Amino acid sequence: MYIKNGVMGMKKASIMDDEFYLGLAGKLAARNKMRLAIPIASVIADSDGIIGIGENRRINDNSMVEHAEIVAIEDGGRESITRLQNATLYTTLAPCLMCTGAITLFSIPRVVIGDNKTFAGYVDILHDHGVEVIVMPQPKLTDLLATYIDKFPDVWAEDNGGQ
């Protein structure tokens, strides 16, 4: 076990566990909601464990680009570039166009999505670039975002360029 940015995880996982890492992303999203931030989070992991974690920090950092997927990629640092090419990105919400571009740019081969009802994302572009996409519907994540959107519709409208 190890702690990174206050999150406990497994440093050396012998197998990829989609439920574990998507569950971890869900816990991060719930923690983000408690901070009054957009409750979206991502975890990137490979067979050696967690590469990076990210929470949507647009509100906290007054940023237009700090989506959870981008923050998770950045969290891995430059040395993670080769690991990303054998990793899975776990995200609580289907990736927007910007995050889809980052996934394809860094050749992340696999994405696991917890909610594609709230926002369908750009799964077709991921498929076109050879990315394996798995949707594991998580009703708690959908509810978490629905509650947030009801409370902060204007903030939500900003999150994907007003779409």
Contacts of 45 (CB under 8 A, 6+ apart): 13, 16, 21, 51, 87, 88, 90
Q: Return the structure tokens found at 124.
A: 């077709």
Which residues in 20-141 belong to E strands, given as ranges?
A: 41-46, 49-55, 88-91, 110-113, 132-135
* Local structure of residue 64 (DSSP, 8 states): S
List the pLDDT tens digit at each of the 163 positions of the chain.
334 445 544 444 434 489 999 999 999 999 988 888 899 999 999 988 899 999 999 998 999 899 999 999 999 998 788 999 999 999 999 999 999 999 999 999 999 999 999 999 999 999 999 999 999 999 999 999 999 999 999 888 887 666 5
Catalytic residue among 19, 69, 74, 158: 69
* Local structure of residue 118 (DSSP, 8 states): S
Our answer to whether residue 69 is catalytic in this structure is: yes
SS3 at position 152:
coil
